[in-house]
Structure 1
Amino acid sequence: MIRDVRSLGLTLLLALVCAATLLTRAAPAWAAEVSAAAHDGYGRMVFRWDDPVRYTVEIRNGNLVAAFDAPIPNSVASVPGRLPAYVDTVRVSPDRRTVTLPLKGDFTLNVFTLNSSVVVDLRGGPDLDPTPAATATPAAPESIRVRTGSHDGYQRIVFDWPRPVDHTLSRDGRTVTLRFDRPARLGVDAIQGDLPAGFGTLTSRIDGDTSVAALTIPPGAEPRVFTSGPKVVLDVTTPSGPEPRPAAQAPEPPQRPAEPEQTAEAPGAPESPAPSVPDTAEATPPAEGAGDGGTGTLTPEESVPDPFIGPTDGEVSILQPGPEDASGADGVDRTPNPAAMDAVAEGGPALAPGAEDAAADRLTQGPGGGDEAASPRGSGGGQVVSLGFSWDQPTAAAVFRRAGYLWVVFDRFQEVDLGLLRRLGVGVVRSVEQVRIGPNSTLVRMTTAPGYNPSLRRDGLLWVVDLMQQPMRPEHPINVQPQVRSPVGPRLLLPVIEGGRVVPVRDPELGDQFFVLPLIQLGHGVFPERTFPEVTLPVTAQGAVVIPRSDRIEVRSSRSGAEITADGGLTLSPEDNRLQTLATLGEGALQEVFDIPGWRREDDATSFDDVRKDLQYAVAMAPASRRGPARLELARFYFANGYAPEALGVLRAIAEEQVEMVGTPAFRALRGATQFLMHRDREAVDDLSHPSLVDVDEAAFWRAAAQSRLGQAGLQAAILEASGGVLENYPPDVRIPLALVAADAAIKAGDDLAANTFLESARDPEFNTTHDEAAIHYLEGNLFASAGAFEAAIAAWKEAEIGQSRRHAALATKARLDMEHRLDLIGTDELIAGLEGLRFAWRGGDFEYDLLRELGDLYLDEDRYGDALRTLRLAASYFEDRPGSEELTERMRTVFDTLFLDGAANDMPPLTAIALFDEFRELTPTGNRGDEMIRRLADRLVSVDLLDPAAALLERQIRYRLRGLDRTRVGARLALVYLLNRQPSNALDALDKTRFAPLPETLERQRRHLRARALADTDNVPAAISLLENDSSEDARVLRADIHWRDQNWAEAARALAELVPPPPSGDETLAEKDAFRLIDWATALTLAGDETGASLLRQRYLDALDGTPFRDAFDLVTATPEAGLIDIASVGGKIRQAEKFRSYLTAYRDRLREDRLSAIN
C-alpha cells in the first residue's frame, strides 16, 4: 500500500514537472543566424540568438564541440566554406542542439558573449594572403579604451582617442548616441559592471567610416559631451545632480537585470587598479549649461586611471540574463543589431588584441573624494544609522541576511560592545547579539526595521555598516565563475583579492552549517543569488556565503581568489553534464554503463574458463582501433563474475594504451564499481563522480554507496533510496553487499522503511555467506535500537558476535556493551574491560577510532589520567589525517593542564606525576603557562626531596624554554637543587651557563652566595671566602661561618659566628632561639679551637641570659672548664655532638623549602 501511494505521488509529480516543462518551453529561443569569417591568425564564428541561451564550447579530441539549449539553424553548414583552413565538415546532433566541427590543426579557443550572441574564436591559424598591390586593404580599425567613474551628481565616461576626432551627440528619449567620425573598436565591455543602477548597457558598433556608442540613461538625466585634448568625455548628470532637467515623457527607470543561474561566467578579469597617473592636459571645467554638442576640457585632477576587463581564453558556459521579449521592462528595444554582429564576425576581435595585458585604470574618485569615504551612500529616504566595528589590524568582513537576521561576520575575534550598537541603531536596530562561532571569528546578528538594508564603508581599519531603506545588494557584484575544467576539477571561482579566512558557521535557528567568506575588498558581494546543484550563494552586501547541499563541499580562500570545490568534482549544472555525457558516449559497447547480467555471459554454453579464453583471444587479435572495446568486454566479464582485481588490471591497461576511453561513462562506471568492490572507496567516488555519469542512476547508487562507507552514510541515504531500484537486476553476489551498505545508511538516517527494504534485499539464504549473515544480524540490532527495542537489539547483536565475521562481531560486541551500560546492566569498570578486549579485535577505520575515543572518555571519568592520555595519543597518531583528529590533541592538552596547572596531579604520588609529565612532555604549553607548570612540578619534587628529577626538569626548562633574566633566575634554583643534592660541580656549571647582566641586586647576591658555597664544597675555600670578602649581609656572615666550620677552621668560624650573636639582653630577658643556637655554635668553635679563655668569657657574659631555656645545659656543657689535669670524656663527646649539630647555610635553605616553595627563593 505504501509503495502504491508513493508511486501515485511520483506519477502526479512527474505530470506536474512535464506540464511545467511544456509551459516553460512554449516560447523557445531560436537562433537568428550563424556567420563565420577568417582573419589574420584566427577564425571567428558568431552564433546569433534572439534571446540569451545556455551553452558549452570546448575542444575535445581534435573536434570543436558546441552545445546549446536551443536548436542550431541550418546556416551552420556554411562554416566550413567560410573557414576552410580551420574546419573540415559539420556534424549536427539529431536534436539540433550540439554541433561538432573536426578541426584541421592545433588551435586554441577563445569564447565570449556580446549581447545575446556567442562569439567563438579559433586562434593559431594562418595569416591571410596579402592583397595584391592593385587592391589596397583598408587598415584594421583601431581599439579605443573606454573608462568610467561615478561622481557627485553625474556619471563620467571617457573615450581615450589617441588623436582628436570629430563627434556628434544625439538623443532619442532615454537613448543617447555618440557618433565618432572614425571607425574604431570601442572597449565598452570593460565598464559594463561599473555603470550604476538605472543605466542600460553601453553598446558600440562600427557603421561604415564611423563608430557609434549608444547608452540608455536614467529618467531625468541629461547628457553633455566635451573634450580634453584628444579624449572625448560624456557626462550624464543624474536627477540628484546639481543641474537636473525634466525628461520629456521619459519611461520608468530600467530595473537592473537579475543575473541568472550560470554554469560559467562571461570572460573577465577581476579589478586590479593601476597607480593613478594624472593627465597632463590643461583643463578647465565644462561651461555651465553646455548643450548636447558642446565642448569643454577635463580637469587634471579628474583624469585618473580606469579599469579594463577583457575576454579570457578557454571554455565558457553562460546563461545570460534577458527580458521576456526583445524589448525590456524599460521599453528599450534590446534586439541585437545584426550589422553589429556581422561586424564582430567580419571586423576582428570585439576587444583590442593584447588588451588583456594592458594597464588598467579607473575613474572612481571625484575631485577630492576617495573610494572609501567615510560617509554613507545616498538612501531611498528615511532614517540612516551607522554601526561601527573598530579593529587594530586589517580584518575581512561579510554582511548578509539569513533567517530574519542581518549577519555581520569578521575573520578575527573581539568582544563587541553590544550596548554601543544598540545606542547607535536606535530606531532601526531592534535586537543585537554576539554569537560564538570560534576563537578566530566574530559574528554579530541583529534584527532591523522592515526595508532597512546595509551599505558598507571603511575609514582606516574601521568598518562602518550604514542601515537605510534600500534594496539588499552589493556595490560590486562578484563575478562567480563556474569552471568545468580546472587544476582541481570542476569548481566555482570567485575572482576576489584580499579574501579573509573561510568561517564555518552553524545557524542557531536552522541548525544547518554553511561557510562565510569575508572580504577586505569594500562593497564586493554576491548579486543576484546564484544556485547550483550542490551549493547556493545567496545575495550579500559584503563577502560571500556558501550554503552546501552536499557534505562534499569545500571552500578555500587564497591570494588569487576563492574557490568552491567538492570531493570528486563539483556538479555545476545537470544540463551541462548531460551534454557532456552525450558528447562522450561512443558507439557500440561504449553506449552501455551497467549490464551486469549480460556481462556475466551466463547464457553461454561454455564454461567460465572458455569464455575468458575467448575474450582474451579477442583482445590479442583485435586491431589497434578495436583493442580498447575488446579489453573493456574482458574487464566487464571479470567484474560481473566477482574477479575485481583482474578487472582492475585490464582497466589499467586500457588507461595506459587507449587514453581516449578514460573519459567515457562506460569506463568510469566500470572502474568506479570495481574500486568499490575492492573497498577503495575514495577512488570509487572519484570515478563515479565523473560529469558523464551525473544523470546515471546506477552510477549515483554506487557513488552514494562508496561515500557511505567513507563516513557519510546518513547524508547518502536519500540518494540510495531514490536509486535503489537498480539492485533488482543485479546478481546476488553484487546485490547483497550493496544492499547492506544502503541499509546501514538508511538506519543512520532514521529511515526504517528503507532500511527494512534493503535488509530484505540482502537476505538470500541460498547465497548469503557467513559474513553476510553476521552483517545482517548486526544491522538488525542497530535497527531495533533506533526503534527503542533494546532487548531485541541486544539479542541480534549477540547473534552477530557468534558469527564468522570478525569485523561485525567486533561491531556488535561494542554496540551491545554500550547499550548494556546505558541500561545499567553493567558498570563502568565492566564496560572498560569489555572495550579493552576489543582493542585488537578489528583494527582501523571508524571502529578503532571511535573505540579509542570512548575509552579515553571513560578513563577520564574514572580519573585514570595516564590511561586516558595514552589512549587519546594513540587515536590522534593513528588517525592524524582524519577530520576532527586535531580535537583529540587539544583534549590531551586540556587534560595535561588539568593535571599540572589546576592541581589534579597533586593527588598522585610525586614519582608518578613526574613520570607522567615526562611521558607527555610535548603537551607542555608554550610561554608563561608552560613555565608555571614546570615551576609547580619542580616545587613539589623538591619539597619531597626528589632532587634528581627536579634537577632534570629545570635543566630542560633552561635549555629549551627560557632566555634572559628568567633563565638566570631559574639557573639559581637549579644550582641550589644541585647543592642540596651534594653536586657542587653541577651547581657551578648551572651558574656559569645562566649568566646574564645586569641583574637585580638581590638575585646577583644570591647567585654569589650559591657560587661561594659550591666552591667551598669543591675544596676551593680561599676562592669562596674571597667572593664574600666585602659582603656584610647576614646570609654572607652565616655562609662564611658555614665554610670555616666545614673546613674545621675553628678560630675563623668563631670569629664569623661572633658577628651573628647579639649582645646579652638586659634584665630578665633571654636570647631568642635562633640567637641561642648561634651562641652555642660560637662557644663550640671556641672550645674546639682551644680558646678556653674566650669560652670562659663567653660563659660569664651569656650564661644568665639562658636561664630557664632549653639551651642552658648545652651551653654549660660546652663552656665548662675541666678539672686541671683531668679529661672529662663525656664532656668531650658532648662537645663533638654539639659540633655536629651546627646549622649550616644549606640547613637554613632546607628549612625555608619545608615552609615555602623552591620558586619562592628568588
Structure 2
Amino acid sequence: MFRQKCLSGVAVLLLGGLLASPVAAQDRVALRTGAHPNFVRLVFDWPGNVAYRVEESDGQVTLRFAAPGAFDLAAVRRPPRNVLGVTAETDTARIQMAPGARMRHFRIGNRIVVDVLDPGRDEFGAASGSPAARRAAAAAPAPAPAPAPAAPPMPAQIVVPAAPRAAPPARATPPARTATAERSPFQPATPPPAEAPVVVQAAPRAPVAREALAEAPQASQAAPQAMLRPAPQPAAAPGTPVAPRGLAVRLLPGPALSIPATAEVGAALFRRGGVWMLVLDAPLPLDLAALRANPVFAAAEASTGPDATTLRLPATFLRAPRLRREGNAWLLDQPVDEVALRAIMPEVEPGPPARLLLHASRAGGSVSVLDPETGTALLVGTVLDGAEAVPAGRRAALFELLPTRLGAALLPRADTVTLRALPGRFLAGASAGAELALGAEAPAASGAATAMTRSFDLPGEAVAALQERLRNATAAVAAAAPLGRGQPRMQVAEALLALGLPQEAQSMVTLAMREDPVLAELPRSRALQAMAALLAGRLAETTGLDAPRLPETDEVALWRGLLASARGQDGAKAVAAGLPLLLSYPEPLQARLAPLAAEALAAGGESVAARRLLATRDQDDPPLALARARVLEAEGALEPALAAYDSLAAGRDRRARALALRRAAELRLANGLLDAAGAAAAMEPTLAAWRGDAMETEGRSRLAELRMQAGDARGAFDLLRETAAMFPNLAAGLREREIAALLGALEREPPVAAVVLYDTHAEMLPPGDATEQALGSLADRLAALDLLDRASHVLRRAVSRAADAESKGRLGARLAGLALGAADGPGALKALEETANESLSADLTQSRLMLEARALARTGRHADAAARFRAAGPAAAAELAVLLEERQDWAGAATALRQHLATIAPPPPAPLSDQHKPIIARIAALLTLAGDDAALAELRAEEQARMGEGPMSGTFDLLTADRVAGLADLPRLRAELDVARGLPARLDGLREETPTTR
C-alpha cells in the first residue's frame, strides 16, 4: 500500500513536471501594433531568432513558429482596422483579416512583422488592380475591389465609379486610392460617387528596395514631387473596354481656362511653391490637350483621386489668378486689377474639445491632396461659389492655415488634425486635450517670400510656438512604434533647426536615417542633415546639399549658396536671390544664418543685399561686426573699414581676429599703405590666430605669395614646406610653388647657405631650364668666392640629374669652364668627354670645341689645340692667334687675326673704329716679325687709308714702310729699330682680351 502511494506520488510529480516544463520553457512574446496610412502593422517581438512559416486561406493568416511562446495579446483586445481578431496558442498565431485586405510579412532581427494592407493596396502600399478587374469594373455599376497582381508590369490603374454626390452607393470595403492624390490619413475615407467609370492612372512609385520599404514603409508615403506627374496611359489590348474620354479643359482668350464641373463641385485655389494648385472636390477626368500648345499652360498637370481632382499650373506666368463659377464650369483667369476677396475668418472655439471655425457661406467639401512641397497630405476645404479665401496665412502648433485665392487649406503638423465641411463653415479639430491657438499673421518678410519655392518646414514663428511644435513632435516620436519613428524624428529635427540648434538637429536626422533606411535614401533627409552640419561648422559633413536628385527649389539654392561661401567659393548671387526667404525664417535661425549670409554677400559684391540684411539685425551684434567691416570695405570707405578691422583684430573672437588681420593687411597693401614685405609681416600673426581648416591653408598660401613678392624666397619655401607637412592632402597642389620658391632661394640666398639648401632638397628640383639656370648661377657665385670644389659639386649633381643630352652638354661645358679657371686642363677634358653627344646643337658643339681647345692648350698639346680652334671656325680665330703667337708662329697668327678681323670689322673702304685699328696694327707687327714684306705691302694698300690719324696710324705707317734704300732713309731706319726693340712687349698691349689658354 505504501509502495503504491509512493508510485502514485511519483507519477503525479512526473506528470506535473511534464505539464509544467513546456510552460516554463516558453518565451514571452509581446505583440505590438501600429496604424499607418495604408496598412496596419503587427509585430511579434521574440526574445531570440525564431523560424516561422506562413499559411494564408479565406482571409485568415496562420503563422507557425519553430518554438513555443507565451503570447501577450493585450494590444489586440480591440482589433485595429483591417483585422477582425488575433488568437495564439503555443507555437501558432492566427490573424483574421477584414474582407479585401491583403498581407505581407518579413523579419527584422528577432521581430516578425505582418502588415495587413488596406483593401485596394498592393504589397508596397500602392493602389492596385489587375487588367481583368478593370475590365470587370468598367462593365459593372458597383464593382468590388479586385485583388492586386503580385508584380504588375505597368503602373497600376484603378476604375473609380462616380455617382451623383447626393446618393453615394454603399460599399462593402473602402475604395482604392491613387498614389497621386491619396486619402488623408487624418480623416475617414469618403465613398466615391458613381457616375460613368473613370480610369485613373497612378504615378509609378520611386524605385526603392523592397527590404527598405519593409523596414520603414511609413516613410515611403512622403512621395516626392516627381510622383505628382501622371504616368502615360498604356495601350489597351484588343477587346479591352476603353475608358471614356476625359472632360476637356478649354483655353479661352485672355488667356483663361474653363474647367467643366457641375454646380455641386466645389473648388479651391492656392499656391504651393512654384505651382498654383486648383483642387476640385470630385474625381473628374480632365483632358489637358488644349493647354499643351500654349506656352503659359504647357507644363500644366492633373491628377485624379477617388475624392478629388488636382490641377497644377506653373506660377511663373500667373501672378494673382482668379477662380470663379461660370455656369457649369470653373473659370480661371488673370484679372488686370487686384480682385477683392471675402476673407474666411478663423475663430477658435475653446471647447472642450478646442476647434477652429472657418466661416464660409458657400462651404463645399473637404478633401485631402498631396502637398508638392512637403510630400505629405494637405486638407483642403472647397467652396461652391463666390470669392471666399484666406488672405493671410496663420500658424498653430498642430497645423498651418495657408493663404489661398479661393477656399481654405490646412497643412497638418500632427496625425490627429481633421477638417470637416459643414453648412456655412469649415471645422478643424484635433485630439482631445490638445491646445489650439492661432499664431500671429505672417510678417512682411514672409509675405515677400511666398513667391519662392521651399523644400523644408522652417516657419517664421515665435520661439514659444516653435517650442510647442518641438514638444508635439517629440511626443509623436514617443507615441510611435519603433519602426514608425522616422518621420516624427524628421519633424523634431526641423523644429530644432528652426530654434537655432543645429548640432541637436543633425543628431536627430542622423538617428532617424539610422532607424529608417528609406529616409536614409531620400535626398531631402540628407539635405536637412547637411544644412544642420553647415550651421554647426562641420563642412566635411555637408555633402547632402550636393545631391543631384535634390529638387531645385529656391530654398535649396539659398542653402547651396551659403555652403559655397563657407567653402570659400562665390555664392553671393544665390544668397542675394534667396534673401527674402532667409528673412522669413524664425528669429533663432536668422541669428545663426545672418553672419554667414552677410559675409557671403559682402565678399561677392552684393553690398545692397548685405545692407538690407544688416538693417534687420542689431547694430551692436558682435557676430555681424566682421560683415559690417567687409561692407564698408566693399563700399570704398577705407578709414572706417580699417578702423573696424583693427578693432576686430584686438578682440577675442579667434575667427574674426584672423580674418580681420588678413583683410586689413590686404586693404593696406592694395591702397599703397604697405609694401609686400610689410603686408607679409602684418599677416604673420594669422598663423597663430586660426588653425585647422581651409581658412588656415588659404592664409598660409597668401603669406607665402607675399614673401615671394618681397624677395624672401627662403621664407616662402619654409612656409610652404611646413604647410605641406601639416596638411598632407594639399602637398601635391603645393609642389610647384615649393619648387619655384626653392629656385628663388638658390638664386638669392648667400652661396654657402644656398649650397646647404640645395644639398638638402636636391631631389625636389625637376630637370629643366629653370633648374639649370639656378644651379649655374649658384656655381658662378661659388667660383667667384674661389669655392671651386663646391661649385663643381653642384654642377656634377646637376649633370647626373639632367633631363636630356642637350642639358647635360651645357652643364658639362660649365663644369669644364670651372676646371679651366682652376688651371685643371685634364679635369676640363674629362668633363667634356663625360657629357659628349653627337646630337648636340651646333652652337653648343662650337662652344665645347673652344673649351676643349683651351684645355688641350693647358695640357701642352698645342697642335691639337690649334686644330680644335680651326674646327671651331671664325669665332675661335682670336684665340687661335694668341695660341700661335705663344708658339711664335707669326705668320699663322697674322692669318688667324686677319680672319678674326673680317668677322668683326666692316669691309673696305668703310672707316675703321678705334676698336678695330689696334687689331690692324697688331697684324702689321706680326707680319713684320714674320719678315713677310709682300703681306705688309698688301696690308698697307688695303688699310692705310682707313687707319686715318692717331697713334695707331703712326705705328702702322712705320711697320709697313718700304725698306731702307739710301742715306736719306737712315732716320727712318733708326725709328724702325726703336719700334722693333719694343715690338714683343707692345704686341701684348695690342691684343684683345681673350680667354687665357694656359
> TM-score, normalising length from structure 1?
0.35
Larger Rg: 2
Structure richer in helix, relative to its length: 2
> TM-score, normalising length from structure 2?
0.40
